[in-house]
Structure 1
Amino acid sequence: MRAPITRGPSPSAGTSGKRTPSDRENRIGLRRKVSDPPPQEGPDMLNSVISETIAGTVLGGDDAGHGQPFVEGEGFVPLSFFVDRLETLRQRSEGGLYAWTVGEIFTFDMLGDLGEIIACAPTLGHAMRQLAQGLPMLQSGAETSFTVIDDEARLSYRVLDPEIWPRRGDAEITLSLAQNICMRFGMPRGALRQVGLEYVPDRDPSECARHLRVMPRFDQTENYVAFPARFLSNPSVTGSAGTQEFSERSRALLDRLSRRQSRLATGELVRARILRHIGRGSLGQASIASELGMSDRSLRRKLSVEATSYHDILEECRRAQGEALLTRTERSLGDIAHALGYSDQTAFSRAFSRWFSMCPSEIRKSARQPAAGDLRPGLAG
């Protein structure tokens, strides 16, 4: 436990576009003023879920019974539940390698329709692009990308919701899955050039480095594996379907993803876009509206129907992501203010003082201060 921070008034909450803060917000030692309403248990910021099949495979059958109907008859479990259980298994495992080793045993059929499409990919390049595009079929609330720059290919992944933390095992199992696919297309095990992880090491990383055959880079802005681009032309070692069949199945999967997204509340779509953009792109309402394929006016109207506004959602995301950056990283206050889209550090400090009744530097100091009897160091990812 760590010394608590007294929290000031929170942004407005509700349903659909708005959300009610949950007890997870107290994980880093934050608590409300006595005059504030008690926190209510609720979904995470993005209602993120993961395939019940994947959860059952990773966690074991006993933990697979928390599914809920989602779309098209598929069973999903809350991503926060999965991540919490996986962290426990990781901590108990020898060398903390549980997630790395489990990711290596996945077979294509365990990944459902996405796995079937990857299995018939004509080359590793096609397979990795399909993984990046199709991962939302298995898990929501995350961002996955695949890029090729010069002679290096990179698969990047991160959970968008800052409230889902720690999430070391989730990052490790996803990167391990990517490496697993690479090896099924003939890439040698020791071919990884880089492995990046968003958390700071919680133990001696030498065991992990021996397993991966490369020392990971920690405290990165996202999780990633990088390998030589020459392997992208490798065909599957087990054979693959023709390019036309692969393309048709890939388009069908993207159509399903598009239909799934169309069912989401506008507020959820906006929240996810903002969390993607923080520190990486414009946080302006017009920019987000354009990405969602609608006008600024149309976006305002849709959010109004859901009893929320762009400003409310932006402030909610700023507060949650700001807490994370202050308490989990060593980034300067100026850098954090810029990442959150504030005009200057003064505006950033004023907003956080209003929310938490403490300035940003005090929030950071308090979150790192051990409580009485706690001899552990400050917060580590």
Structure 2
Amino acid sequence: MSRLKHTIYAEVLLQHHAAMFRPFLERAGLGLDVLDHPEQQIPLSNYVHLLEIAAEELDPALGLKLGQGLYNDKPNVTMLGGFGYAVRAAADVRALLEFAVRYLVVHAQANELSWQVAGDQLEIRYRISDPSITLRQQDAEYAFAALYTRLREVTANKFAALRVDFAHERPADTSEHEKAFGCPVRFDQPDNLMVWPLAMLDEPLVTADPRLFQALQPGLEEARRQRLADTDLTARLGLAIEACLGSGISLDEIASQLCMSKRTLQRRLQDLGLEFNDLVEEIRQALAIDLVRRSSLNLTEIATRLGYNESSSFTRAFRRWTGLSPREFRQQAERG
């Protein structure tokens, strides 16, 4: 689990689907109290892990179906609290996207949404910025299915998506993906990307509610300022550590990259309850597992990229983390 301590407000999702998630909470490192307190922050890494466990046990398309609301017993219920209600109340799709980009951090600290115009198309991207969270298929599919469903709803189904890309590998069965989005769906792509006709950008929302939108914004702005203070540091810290793994890493070097003194960084880490060496080890472990599982690099190249001078040292560390050698782990992953 990530020691970067990014958090998410599980909101109504876990509470509304308590029967579904209750059997897997302990395996994901969560307590039963998260089902009774939807206002409680929980570690993002545990939440993402919970989705993966539930999907493995119940349904490989769990994220897609949750995002579409197929498990909901109430139509149009939002699982995102105040943030979700404000999104539906925006004036048009442009305002919806601008709001979501700015305030998604209030709901989840390391989840990022962005959009851009590319010719006659609208491109929307989504990612988790925490590099230590590597298994994220269900989160990505839940996020895009929810966004797709919401955009279709608030525009009265006037527009259809042109293409959906996912960064994770292609599942064995993609029939649910094709049914969910009604357009070409690709996997193993550089980004989680959803493409729409540009004309949708200025479409008024049928759910627009200017008074509600304005009423919710001040509280969300205050929450955003508080969340960003920690999010900015932890995101930059994780990326700086990842970039330095192969060339030698030290607290002084990371402090320099973050444009702060070593003493200041030590104090900020203490405030966040983080130990620098433990954090480096966790990020190295997460990247090692991801590279061995997914990349085409040979094991010597992976060891070098992670800062090991000898492949034997990397093998010993990998066996300590997983109980398998890198070669055994890769063979097991290839067999599925």
Would the TM-score normalized by the shorter structure come out above 0.5?
yes
Partner of residue 299, structure 1: 265
- Give the equivalent residue in structure 2 for 1:378: 334
**Relative to structure 2, which stretch is displaced further, 225-234 or 215-224?**
215-224
1:67 aligns to 2:30 (yes or no): no
1:44/1:80 contact within 8 Å kept: yes
Higher helix share: 2
| Residues 251-270 of structure 1: pairs in structure 2 closer than 5 A | 251-262=218-229, 264=230, 270=233
1:208 Cα deviation from its structure 2 partner: 1.9
1:198 aligned partner, one-letter code: A
Q: Displacement, 1:237? A: 1.1
Structure 2 residue 62 is matched with structure 1 residue 104: no
**Post-superposition offset of 1:81:** 4.7
Among 235, 255, 273, which residue is 1:272 paired with?
235
Are 2:94 and 1:125 aligned? yes
Q: Secondary structure at the match of 1:369?
A: helix
Q: Distance in 2 between matches of 1:364 and 1:189?
A: 50
Q: CA deviation at 1:224?
A: 2.9
Q: Is the 8 A contact 1:171 1:223 kept in 2?
A: yes
Tell me, in whole angstroms, the C-alpha distance in 2 between the residues paired with 1:281 and 1:181: 40
Matched, 1:87 2:49: no
For residue 269 of structure 1, report the CA deviation from its aligned partner: 5.9
Unaligned runs of 5+ in 1: 1-42, 338-344, 371-376
State the Cα distance separating 1:62 from its structure 2 match.
6.3
Counterpart of 1:51, as a letter, is A
Deviation of the 1:236 alpha carbon = 0.9
Local SS of the residue matching 1:327: helix
1:185 aligns with 2:191: no
One-letter amino acid of the counterpart of residue 132, structure 1: V
Give the superposition deviation at 1:231. 0.8
Tell me the distance in 2 between the aligned counterparts of 1:209 and 1:240. Answer: 32
User: For residue 322 of structure 1, what is the amino acid of its counterpart?
Assistant: A
Q: Secondary structure at the match of 1:175?
A: helix
Determine the C-alpha separation between the residues in 2 that align with 1:332 and 1:321: 14
Letter in 2 for 1:156: R
Does the aligned pair in 2 maintain the 1:86–1:170 contact within 8 Å? yes
Give the one of 178, 182, 187 matched to 1:213: 182
Does structure 1 retain, via aligned residues, the 8 Å contact 2:156–2:206? no
Alpha-carbon distance, 1:240 to partner: 2.7
Distance across 2 between alignment mates of 1:233 and 1:155: 15
2:28 counterpart residue number: none
Cα shift at 1:271: 4.0
How far apart, in 1, do the equivalents of 2:54 and 2:282 lie?
Answer: 31
Q: Does residue 148 of structure 1 match 2:116?
A: yes
Q: Describe the shift of the 1:331–1:53 C-alpha distance in structure 2 as closer, same or farther (beyond 3 A).
A: farther
Aligned to 2:286: 320
**Aligned-partner Cα distance in 2 for 1:301–1:163:** 22
Separation in 2, partners of 1:87, 1:59: 16
Partner secondary structure for residue 155 of structure 1:
strand
Return the letter of the residue paired with 1:56: Q
Question: CA shift at 1:124, angstroms?
Answer: 0.8
Preserved contact between residue 105 and residue 227 of structure 2 (Cα < 8 Å): no
Asked if 2 retains the 8 angstrom alpha-carbon contact of 1:326 and 1:363, the reply is no
> TM-score if structure 2 supplies the norm length?
0.71
Please state whether the residue corresponding to 1:255 is helix, strand or coil: helix
The secondary structure found in structure 1 opposite 2:187 is: coil
The equivalent of 1:241 in structure 2 is 210
Q: 1:285 to 1:46 in 2, by over 3 A?
A: closer
Aligned CA-pair RMSD:
4.3
- TM-score, normalising length: structure 1: 0.64
Identity among equivalent positions (%) equals: 22
Does the CA contact (< 8 Å) of 2:240 and 2:257 recur in 1?
Answer: no
Q: Is the 8 A contact 1:352 1:359 kept in 2?
A: no
**C-alpha distance 58-212 of structure 1, shift in aligned 2 (>3 A):** farther
Matched, 1:115 2:84: yes
> In structure 2, which of residues 169, 175, 182 is the aligned counterpart of residue 200 of structure 1?
169
Change (3 A) 1:214 1:354: same
Matched, 1:51 2:13: no
Q: Distance in 1 between matches of 2:78 and 2:18?
A: 18
Deviation at 1:309, TM superposition (A): 6.9
Asked if the contact 1:206/1:215 (under 8 Å) is kept, the reply is no
Aligned length: 311
Aligned 8 A contact 2:293 2:329 in 1: yes
